[in-house]
Amino acid sequence: MSSNKTPAGLGYRMPAEWEPHAATWLSWPRREGISFPDSFDRVLPALKQMVAALIGNGQSNASAARTSDPVCINVVNGAHEAEARAVLDSLPRQECITYYEIPTNEPWCRDHGPVFLTRDVDPRLAVVDWDYNAWGNKYPPFDQDEVVPTRIAELLEVPVFYPKMILEGGSIEVNGAGALLTSESCLLNKNRNPNLSREEIEQRLRSFLGVNEILWLGDGIEGDDTDGHIDDLARFVSQNKVVTVVEENSDDANYKPLQENLARLREMRVGGRKLDIELLPMPKKIVREGMRMPASYANFYIANKVVLVPTFADPADKMALSILSKCFPNRRVIGIDCRELIWGLGTFHCLTQQQPAV
């Protein structure tokens, strides 16, 4: 593809998550799926609270009650839609929820869903359909997940671009102004793109996301089956400010990699300026059936009027919510208990995909 036919060449860019949304996309989990073994019903309350927060329920004052984001939900068929409705139909503001028959294998829309682009001249929406192999062929089948971006692009009648590279949405984080954060442990993992060099991967990110500065962190957190997605590590909260998780217990397996990532962030420049860095705590170690869960406050989701933050009935919950409230003074920061949801090895950012407003 010639440079003037790439999204960047055509003036497209990936907006920051805090820029205005037209909708938030979700893929409703399947009872027979592998994400929540023996605990499917126990994750439904968190999903209901997530949707309620997005569509503006539970607000007393009229301005706050306006919808944060309309919610679009992928379902397999009518029976699957009925299962979702059994959970969500008791919520007010049903007009803000739309169901689409777009089958998926698992619910992690951040990773299998479309990465949306916009452009400022002749404004319009576009979709990047990265290849998808369920985090390095860990969880087959993923045939339905793999085609979701194109299905949504067809539904919305927008252009779709194909980089011919495996990438999950949770592995990249942008500031909307040309900078992208990612991790070596994921993007350079040979279970994704063994035939692409670091330089070739960087070039595709520039060409298909409209970025020019690629910022690399190192390893992810223990228990993260994605090989170190950035959305459990460090997130932009403004064009030049990031929040990053740190582990205070030097005996914890996460202490060293998170300290090394912090050291890298302190050396980074965006647009020639050093990053403004805010530290987020880590919750205490959560082990279930002998497995460490990748619990992280960095897996928050920024919607139009709210920020959804995973909490874990942990002493650090209050501190994390306070820090993020200061980062987002014009949004309501909502903590939702994710002790069951994390059994699927992800929380709110992993479940959501924003559709930018144009």
* Contact present, 177 and 238 (Cβ < 8 Å): no
Helical spans, DSSP H, in the chain: 40-55, 62-65, 78-88, 109-112, 134-137, 143-146, 148-156, 184-187, 198-209, 255-267, 317-327, 348-351
State residue 196 phi and psi, 5-degree precision: -110, 135
| Closest to 71 in 3D by CA, of 300, 309, 231, 304 | 304
The answer to whether the beta carbons of residues 273 and 216 sit under 8 Å apart is: no
**Alpha carbon 236 to chain centroid, angstroms:** 12
Q: Compute the distance between CA of residue 7 and CA of residue 207 in angstroms, rounded to an integer.
A: 6
Nearest to 25 by CA among 92, 112, 128, 93: 112
Radius of gyration of the chain (CA): 19
Report the distance separating Cα 69 and Cα 329, nearest Å. 18
Are 345 and 223 in contact by the 8 Å Cβ rule? The answer is yes
Residues 6+ apart with CB under 8 A from 304: 20, 21, 68, 69
The letter for the amino acid at 242 is V
> Could you say which of 72, 109, 338, 350 is catalytic?
350
For residue 59, give both structure tokens. Answer: 């607000």
Contact status, residue 257 vs residue 224, Cβ threshold 8 Å:
no
Q: Are 112 and 98 in contact (CB under 8 A)?
A: no
Is 350 among the catalytic positions?
Answer: yes
Catalytic residues: 350
